[in-house]
């Protein structure tokens, strides 16, 4: 068994200063980082709590009954989150994803969604609003989320076998309850994009070589033809607590080989700029993609980096902007939000932060050039800023 590493430094207590530059940076939708990447996607963590203890995210050995979560006063209010979202949209953000921890643990989340659903791009277009959840609370919340203005959901599900699923969530939660939540989401219409087009509920399966490889084909068979997109994700070296080692990574190329042993698949083109998943469609008897059968996705975050067109910023639950899932520190926005700083000041500070961005950890890791951390710094935990 891999040794657990307990972080010596709490990233929540660290922050870089998000300064307001002397030369104003106007939010005009053309903001770019040092590699020419625009900011188009904002992922908002609304809580650092979760009711699962998946060993690749919040292992029980670290996140036990003695673990101290952020006090409520430190969390951004819904009004503060909405303010950051509004300024981000002016900078070019078109998609907002609500994450956690488990976002449905944040009380009255529907109120926040309703507030952000009122925002529009500078061209008057609706934002694409989506949420990632473990599905445990989805059955009773799906309709309220849809009514508030949420368009789509992504559900994390690492297997259909109940014993394997309980082993992976490590709190003995039954897979049947998550499946009921998925059905509730479909009945509520949480598979439509901002323009009412059917894009499918997404199901994310993290594949860990020693744990759930045998679930790949059953998962594909179950979701084939159900109007949902099943995505297989390589087990990532996120944070410092999940005991990651390369031996546990099943490369997407091997996942695809397993899938092709039973299904005929054809490659599909990306739907949007910066898409993380490689798309494959189920084929009919003529070898052509059959939309009725649907598609799968492969997210090769370890073996095939997609840093080159990464357009995602992440806002932590207490107001830090992170520029990469593998970052060690974020930039403090909460101090500005709780000062007399104007929207223009905060827009300038956010613009300055994004313009400093040169992160491409996964690409460098693939070239054995990933920078080593120093001074006790550790990569931020996925449970803190979402995936």
In tens digits, the chain (387 residues) has pLDDT values of: 344 444 434 555 568 999 999 999 999 999 999 999 999 999 999 999 999 998 878 889 889 989 999 999 999 999 999 999 999 999 999 999 999 999 999 999 999 999 999 999 999 999 999 999 999 999 999 999 999 999 999 999 999 999 989 988 999 999 999 999 999 999 999 987 776 667 779 999 999 998 899 999 999 999 999 999 999 999 876 545 555 577 888 999 999 999 999 999 999 998 876 678 899 999 999 999 999 999 999 998 878 766 888 999 999 999 999 998 878 889 999 999 999 999 999 999 999 999 999 977 666 655 554 454 444 456 667 677 776
- Tell me if 84 sits within 8 A of 315, measured CB to CB: yes
d(CA 3, CA 292): 45
- Tell me if 208 sits within 8 A of 248, measured CB to CB: yes
User: In the chain, where are the structural domains located?
Assistant: 11-385
Q: What are phi and psi of 249, to 5 degrees?
A: -80, 125
pTM of the model: 0.90
Residue 368: predicted pLDDT = 54
Residue 97: predicted pLDDT = 97
Residue 168: predicted pLDDT = 86
Residue 304: predicted pLDDT = 77
Residue 4: predicted pLDDT = 44
Q: What is the CATH number of domain 11-385?
A: 3.20.20.70
């Amino acid at each position: 068994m891999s040794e657990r590493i307990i972080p010596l430094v709490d990233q929540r207590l660290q922050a870089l200063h998000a300064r307001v530059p002397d030369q104003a940076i106007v939010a005009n939708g053309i903001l770019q980082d040092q590699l020419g990447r625009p900011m188009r996607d904002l992922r908002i963590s609304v809580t650092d709590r979760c009711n699962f203890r998946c060993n690749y995210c919040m292992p029980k050995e670290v996140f036990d009954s003695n673990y101290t979560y952020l006090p409520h006063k430190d969390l951004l209010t819904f009004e503060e989150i909405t303010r950051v979202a509004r300024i981000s949209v002016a900078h070019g953000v078109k998609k907002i994803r609500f994450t956690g921890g488990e976002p449905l643990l944040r009380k009255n989340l529907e109120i926040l969604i309703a507030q952000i659903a009122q925002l529009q791009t500078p061209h008057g277009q609706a934002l694409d609003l989506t949420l990632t959840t473990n599905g445990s609370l989805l059955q009773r919340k799906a309709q309220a989320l849809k009514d508030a203005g949420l368009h789509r959901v992504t559900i994390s599900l690492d297997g259909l076998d109940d014993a394997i699923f309980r082993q992976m969530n490590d709190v003995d939660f039954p897979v049947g309850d998550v499946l009921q939540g998925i059905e509730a989401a479909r009945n509520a219409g949480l598979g439509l994009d901002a323009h009412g087009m059917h894009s499918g509920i997404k199901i994310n399966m993290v594949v860990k070589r020693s744990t759930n490889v045998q679930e790949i084909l059953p998962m594909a068979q179950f979701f084939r033809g159900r109007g949902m997109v099943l995505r297989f994700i390589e087990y990532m070296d996120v944070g410092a607590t999940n005991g990651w080692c390369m031996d546990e990574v099943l490369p997407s190329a091997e996942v695809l080989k397993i899938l092709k042993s039973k299904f005929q698949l054809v490659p599909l083109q990306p739907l949007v700029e910066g898409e993380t998943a490689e798309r494959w469609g189920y084929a009919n008897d003529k070898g052509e993609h059959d939309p009725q059968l649907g598609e799968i996705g492969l997210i090769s975050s370890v073996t095939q980096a997609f840093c080159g067109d990464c357009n995602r910023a992440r806002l932590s639950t207490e107001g830090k902007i992170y520029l990469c899932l593998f970052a060690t520190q974020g930039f403090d926005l909460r101090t500005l939000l709780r000062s007399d700083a104007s929207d223009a000041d905060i827009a300038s500070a956010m613009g300055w932060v994004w313009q400093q961005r040169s992160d491409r950890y996964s690409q460098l890791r693939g070239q054995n050039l990933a920078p080593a951390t120093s001074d006790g710094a550790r990569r931020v935990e996925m449970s803190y800023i979402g995936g």
